[in-house]
């Protein structure tokens, strides 16, 4: 998420020094190289010079346990982190730790630090939340940082915007059937002003300028035929249910337009996800790539190609399946990169001649970042 940019002088100096923990030996498969490992639910990525930043959603903790986004309990801890990877030296280190995290009791499917993006002088970070609107109220003081946008500068993390509170107060998609009051800030792009955020729970793209939040766009709800469930009667023919848009990613292109990827909610129909383009200055989102599945992140290449991360190539109701990295060329031609290599991938950032992808992004301890050649 975000584009490779030169790290501003002295910015994040405290976060990039002393990367003394050596990464394991790189493993190659189809040209794929492991550049970071041992991560807890790795999510969004940013590239600043030779440093790769990885948002780790953590593994939750001992509790309290509260209602989660899937209706099952998730347990709180301060296991979220920000990891910096020195790509020249092959070293990685957690440069921010003890950040809030919610996860299943086994540490899977965490929410916490979700994405990072480099602005002119600082990193910006989203910390997710999800679940009912009252979930944050049940968390200890450390958990009140969830559902917010932060800026990391010379003096550490600074709370910039409370996106969860905005959703509770405004609920921009309230007119849509099936809409809930729920906020899960996921993706952030700080490469220009205003900073923009994709709220996967709120189903909207938000702009943040000097702490003030406004709506850039709402993604349209879809509809799908509900699947047959074991032990339940089959739905009558023609039955449809509303499907949440779930915008998981936003990235600013070179012309100032915004590209947004969607995961789509239950019943997670394969091929139902789109990439939208929002024109510079705002306007209705227009579909520029369709027929995709469970998008967790996107990137835009210098030639206008879209790089799309699919968390799974099948419905989540069908059990485990490989993820995918799809390149959509400007003429619409699609190519899968590192086919069959990805498992629940969650984030992408483009380097000069390679994509860096968070893999095993829904599990603790086994998360990786892979370098995938683009040529």
* pLDDT tens, residue by residue, 131-149: 889 999 999 999 999 999 9
Judge whether 288 lies within some domain.
Answer: yes
Judge whether residue 15 has pLDDT over 50.
no
- Are 66 and 30 a contacting pair, CB within 8 Å? no
Of residues 242 and 48, more confidence is placed in 48
Judge whether residue 335 has pLDDT over 50.
yes
| pLDDT at residue 34, rounded to an integer | 97
Judge whether 304 lies within some domain.
Answer: yes
Average pLDDT, the chain: 88
186: left (phi over 0), alpha (psi -120 to 50) or beta: alpha
| DSSP symbol at 155 | T
Three-class SS state of 137:
helix
| pLDDT at residue 27, rounded to an integer | 44
Angle at the Cα of 371 (from 366 to 373), degrees rounded to 5? Answer: 150
* Total-model pTM: 0.89
| pLDDT at residue 30, rounded to an integer | 65
> If you average pLDDT over residues 20-28, what whole number do you get?
38
Judge whether residue 194 has pLDDT over 90.
yes
Judge whether 237 lies within some domain.
Answer: no
Judge whether 5 lies within some domain.
Answer: no
> If you average pLDDT over residues 197-223, what whole number do you get?
94
Of residues 307 and 3, more confidence is placed in 307
**Enclosing domain of residue 139:** 27-221+244-373
* Distance between CA atoms of residues 85 and 83, nearest Å: 7
Of residues 251 and 155, more confidence is placed in 251
Judge whether residue 316 has pLDDT over 90.
no
250: left (phi over 0), alpha (psi -120 to 50) or beta: beta
* Distance between CA atoms of residues 370 and 219, nearest Å: 30
Judge whether residue 16 has pLDDT over 60.
no
Judge whether residue 189 has pLDDT over 70.
yes
CATH of the domain at 287: 2.130.10.10
Judge whether 2 lies within some domain.
Answer: no
Judge whether 52 lies within some domain.
Answer: yes
> If you average pLDDT over residues 199-221, what whole number do you get?
95
pLDDT tens profile 222-233: 888 776 666 778
> Using 50, 70 and 90 to split pLDDT, how confident is the model at 9?
very low
> If you average pLDDT over residues 165-187, what whole number do you get?
89
Judge whether 260 lies within some domain.
Answer: yes
**Nearest one of 92, 89, 162, 95 to 123, comparing CA atoms:** 95
Judge whether 131 lies within some domain.
Answer: yes
Of residues 244 and 198, more confidence is placed in 198
> Using 50, 70 and 90 to split pLDDT, how confident is the model at 5?
very low
| pLDDT at residue 63, rounded to an integer | 94
The region of weakest confidence among 50-54, 228-232, 322-326 is: 228-232
Number of domains in the chain: 1
| pLDDT at residue 20, rounded to an integer | 32
């Amino acid at each position: 998420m975000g584009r490779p940019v030169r790290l501003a002088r002295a910015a994040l100096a405290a976060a990039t020094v002393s990367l003394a923990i050596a990464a394991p030996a790189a493993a190659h498969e189809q040209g794929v190289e492991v550049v970071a490992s041992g991560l807890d639910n790795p999510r969004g990525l940013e590239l600043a010079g030779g440093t790769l930043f990885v948002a780790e959603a953590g593994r939750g903790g001992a509790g309290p346990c509260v209602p989660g986004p899937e209706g099952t309990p998730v347990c709180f801890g301060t296991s979220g982190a920000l990891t910096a990877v020195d790509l020249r030296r092959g070293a990685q280190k957690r440069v921010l730790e003890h950040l809030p995290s919610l996860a299943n009791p086994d540490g899977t499917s965490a929410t916490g630090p979700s994405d990072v993006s480099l602005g002119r002088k600082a990193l910006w970070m989203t910390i997710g939340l999800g679940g009912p609107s009252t979930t944050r109220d049940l968390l200890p003081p450390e958990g009140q940082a969830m559902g917010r946008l932060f800026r990391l500068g010379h003096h550490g993390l600074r709370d910039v915007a409370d996106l969860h509170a905005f959703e509770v107060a405004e609920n921009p998609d309230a007119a849509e059937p099936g809409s809930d009051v729920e906020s899960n800030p996921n993706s952030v792009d700080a490469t220009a002003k205003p900073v923009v955020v994709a709220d996967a729970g709120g189903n909207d793209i938000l702009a943040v300028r000097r702490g003030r939040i406004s709506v850039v766009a709402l993604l349209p709800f879809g509809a799908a035929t509900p699947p047959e469930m074991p032990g339940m009667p089959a739905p009558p023919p023609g039955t449809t249910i509303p499907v949440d848009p779930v915008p998981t990613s936003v990235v600013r292109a070179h012309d100032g337009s915004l590209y947004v990827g969607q995961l789509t909610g239950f019943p997670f129909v394969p091929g139902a996800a789109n990439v939208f383009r929002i024109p510079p200055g705002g306007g209705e989102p227009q579909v520029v790539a369709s027929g995709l599945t469970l998008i967790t992140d996107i990137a835009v290449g210098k030639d206008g190609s879209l790089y799309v991360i699919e968390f799974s190539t099948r419905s989540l109701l069908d059990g485990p399946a490989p993820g995918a990295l799809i390149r959509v060329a400007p003429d619409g031609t699609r190519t899968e990169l590192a086919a069959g290599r990805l498992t629940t991938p969650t984030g992408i950032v483009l380097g000069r001649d390679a994509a860096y992808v968070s893999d095993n992004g829904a599990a603790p301890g086994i998360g990786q970042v892979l370098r995938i050649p683009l040529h």
